[in-house]
């Protein structure tokens, strides 16, 4: 295997014939027009390349296909909804294995509060399936109309409700995985307690397709909150936002389900770029806004708790102004500002992006010091730092100054800006990939930043589970 982003592999004509026969006409795609969607990146950063696309219809077919790949030494890149942001699911010569057709709901067990679905179910579909049981599947993110369960597990996705419910890792009870040699591991236990030896499922969660193909998962269902209250609050600084979070947690008994911070420049981007969006509070222009959602198990008294909290926050000058959504439509409109921010940025052009986390208490210092470092490099850069303050996770993005093309900016300053921001993150004991993963984009940087002992363990796991390096090679780590 090569150590670059592009790999070459010889595909035997006999392998192609056998793969085509095994997968059938719907499961084997090799015409450029049909392959196009699978091979382009969401952010438009380069196209992938694959000899063909395999779309198996069942776990048995995934297993047979992976065994065939093993026989011919063929490397495979799994792909779900193709919304990943670190180029992990785009093939560079590997066969692309799409999980789109793995769509069965295998089991719903309300008494165990669990649901077992195949990897190709889309997150928004799962949320609906679970809602019919009067339960909640709490994972929620901007790409939920496209991202699939297998991809979400493979990236250990986060999103806007991590504060209350945790990341994908916290929602998985069991997994079914097809190993690189084609064997099926059935770990769909649905157990909350299981201390029999190593917790193998954890290896595949967040592995970005480098260890096996996730074909199904047993996931937790949560009680549906009786009422969700959304507010849009003006704060003077990230430090005030962190103070507000602490106050809100204490006053609501831990009922804060989302706590998102956005700068005015980000809100302006959305209002300019995205149709059907409107400023939730046009009379109050503030440097920063918090979108706070509180989920209460009962309706009685909920509004009093929230109003009491907001009163305290205003009295102590943590919050300067704000609105409380009075209807579902208004709540939807407020959420739309936050959810479409990545799309608005995309329309604006390529920013130098950082998906980082630091302890929540260090966030204000991080933003202040990162801004100082960035302005020292590009004095008039446009900084848009927004994200999941409740999780200490910021999307710290640096866009070019007026009049500078994004390509020019990226080439001239991309590496220097990223080094400056990531050095600071590491000094603060943070993470250079809070929720999007490593893929190929951060692979070399990961190798530079982790300790030798950590890299040895990572490589040992990879070699143990994928000794021939055929599962999504050259993503995350190179061996």
CB 143 to ligand FAD: min, Å: 4
Sign of CA dihedral 374, 403, 289, 273: negative
Nearest residue to 420 via CA among 345, 366, 346, 472: 366
Whether the Cβ atoms of residue 135 and residue 117 lie closer than 8 Å to each other: no
Contact in structure between 244 and 327 (CB atoms under 8 Å): no
- For the bound state, the minimum distance from the C-beta of residue 346 to ligand FAD, rounded and expressed in Å, comes to 8
What is the closest distance, in whole angstroms, from the C-beta atom of residue 119 to ligand FAD in the complex?
4
- Report the C-alpha gap between 309 and 353 in whole angstroms: 34
Nearer to ligand FAD, 353 or 436 (CB): 436
CB of 167 to ligand FAD, least distance (A): 8
CB of 7 to ligand FAD, least distance (A): 14
Q: Which residues pair with 174 in a beta bridge?
A: 218
**Residues lying near ligand FAD in the complex (CB under 6 A):** 42, 77-85, 88-89, 99, 119, 141-143, 147-148, 150-152, 154-155, 157-159, 208-209, 213-214, 342, 435-436, 439, 472, 475
Nearer to ligand FAD, 73 or 145 (CB): 145
Nearer to ligand FAD, 286 or 295 (CB): 295
CB of 178 to ligand FAD, least distance (A): 9
Task: Name the residue number minimizing CB distance to ligand FAD.
Answer: 151
Q: Which is nearer to ligand FAD, 240 or 462 (CB)?
A: 462
Complex with ligand FAD: residue 286 or 474, whichever CB lies closer: 474
Would you say 159 or 400 has its CB closer to ligand FAD? 159
């Amino acid at each position: 295997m090569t150590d670059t982003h592009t790999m070459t592999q010889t595909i035997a004509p006999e392998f192609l014939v056998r793969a085509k026969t095994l997968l059938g006409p719907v499961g084997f795609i090799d015409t450029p027009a049909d392959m196009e969607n699978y091979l382009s990146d969401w952010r438009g950063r380069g196209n992938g390349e694959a000899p063909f696309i395999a779309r198996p219809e069942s776990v048995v077919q995934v297993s047979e296909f992976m065994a065939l790949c093993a026989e011919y030494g063929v490397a495979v890149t799994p792909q779900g909804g193709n919304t990943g942001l670190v180029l992990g699911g785009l093939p560079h010569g590997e066969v692309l294995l799409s999980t789109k057709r793995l769509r069965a709901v295998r089991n719903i067990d309300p008494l165990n509060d669990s649901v077992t679905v195949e990897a190709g179910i889309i997150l928004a579909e799962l949320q609906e399936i679970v809602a019919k049981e009067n339960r909640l599947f709490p994972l929620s993110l901007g790409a939920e109309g496209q991202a699939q369960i297998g991809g979400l597990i493979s990236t250990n996705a986060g999103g806007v409700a991590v504060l209350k419910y945790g990341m994908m890792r916290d929602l998985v009870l069991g997994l079914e995985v097809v190993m690189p040699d084609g064997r099926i591991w059935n770990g769909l236990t649905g157990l909350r307690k299981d201390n029999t030896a190593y917790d193998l499922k954890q290896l595949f969660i967040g592995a970005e397709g480098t260890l096996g193909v996730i074909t199904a998962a047993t996931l937790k269902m949560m009680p549906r909150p009786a009422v969700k209250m959304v507010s849009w609050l003006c704060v003077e600084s990230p430090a005030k936002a962190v103070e507000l979070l602490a106050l809100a947690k204490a006053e609501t008994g831990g009922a804060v389900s989302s706590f998102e911070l956005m700068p005015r420049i980000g809100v302006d981007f959305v209002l300019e770029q995205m149709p059907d969006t409107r400023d939730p509070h046009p009379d109050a222009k503030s440097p920063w806004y918090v979108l706070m959602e509180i989920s209460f198990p009962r309706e009685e008294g909920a509004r009093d708790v929230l109003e009491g909290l907001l009163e305290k926050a205003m009295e102590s000058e943590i919050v300067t102004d704000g609105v409380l959504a009075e209807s579902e439509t208004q709540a939807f409109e407020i959420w739309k500002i936050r959810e479409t921010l990545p799309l608005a940025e995309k329309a604006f052009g390529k920013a130098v992006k950082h998906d980082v986390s630091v302890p929540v208490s260090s966030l204000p210092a991080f933003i202040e010091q990162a801004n100082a470092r960035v302005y020292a490099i590009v004095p008039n850069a446009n900084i848009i730092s927004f994200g999941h303050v409740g999780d200490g996770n910021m999307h710290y993005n640096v866009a070019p100054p007026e009049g500078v093309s994004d390509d020019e900016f990226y080439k001239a300053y991309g590496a220097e800006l990223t080094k400056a921001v990531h050095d600071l993150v590491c000094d603060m004991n943070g993470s250079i990939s809070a929720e999007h993963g490593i893929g190929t984009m951060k692979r070399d940087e990961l190798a530079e930043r982790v300790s030798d002992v950590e890299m040895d363990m990572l490589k040992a796991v990879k070699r143990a589970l994928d000794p021939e390096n055929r599962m999504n090679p050259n993503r995350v780590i190179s061996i």
